[in-house]
Structure 1
């Protein structure tokens, strides 16, 4: 669990996966995982058409296996450590670009495109703002509401100075900005 993970709340069983998926770059991780599989597999795979074996082995097969394994690891990292999503996204895009000359045009273009999409989605993903729960205080329950809709409550504020105090361009208002009067 990372420091950015929100505190767990009671979630119905049927919604647990949905909540988990929405709190991290799920689709970016999935695209990155799917992009790593063809990049790692195609240099070692072969296809049989009757008696003919079509092999796509390359001299850089170990490099393709390393790139594919790293992409799968980055996809899992996006799921389980969403705090490092920007690093994982940039690394995914770089590895996808490196896979073009190393791994049969990036897994015949499929792995390359999936990893670029996953990396871009990981960089662009941002966590949702935290939901603030309504807090009911007993102190405010006893206070009366203002008589008119535009009225401002002044409870707890110091009294305003009388007309003998004139505002100048150096005077600050209550909000911390310059007072426009004067």
Structure 2
């Protein structure tokens, strides 16, 4: 016969479950989604200025002098995304710079990677600004300090 504990997931004690649980705990202590969006914003901002479109005999090269500015903006966004993950204490600075670079990429990098990079950088930066560490204390005291009155 089965006991109540036998209905648990068969792989709950596996290494995969432990890694997943550890990753979830790590992710909750930092602005993970903000960092991911800032990292993803770098891809279209870097890619599109160097994009070559070939349609048969017609070849359109989009590589311009703005490519250098796009590369600098994209690499800076990659660094900021990594800093949001591994140094969450600087989230306010990184969020402000990510929003600024996302808006700056509009005139420099083909409308900010055709608006995809700008939207990701601005959203990630604003998420970083809005994120705050979770208070894990179990205090039931009211903010005024008058619990139970």
Partner of 2:66: 60
How far, CA to CA, are the matches of 2:108 and 2:19 in structure 1?
44
Q: Does 1:119 align with 2:121?
A: no
**RMSD of equivalent CA atoms:** 1.9
Moved over 4 A (4+): none
Offset, 1:132: 5.1
TM-score, normalised to structure 1's length?
0.63
Rg bigger for which structure?
1
Taking structure 2 as the reference length, what is the TM-score of the superposition? 0.77
Instruction: Tell me the number of residue pairs that the alignment of Structure 1 and Structure 2 aligns.
Output: 124
Distance of 1:38 and 1:111 partners within structure 2:
6
Q: What is the aligned counterpart of 2:113 among 107, 113, 131?
A: 107
More contact order relative to length (CA 8 Å, sep ≥ 6): 2
Runs of at least 5 residues in structure 1 that lack an aligned partner in the other structure:
1-10, 134-174, 176-182
- Corresponding position of 1:16: 22
Match of 1:178 in 2: none
In 2, Cα distance between equivalents of 1:42 and 1:13: 36
| Gap runs ≥5 in structure 2 | 1-16, 140-144
Higher share in helix: 2
> Residue 26 of structure 1 is aligned with which of 28, 32, 48?
32
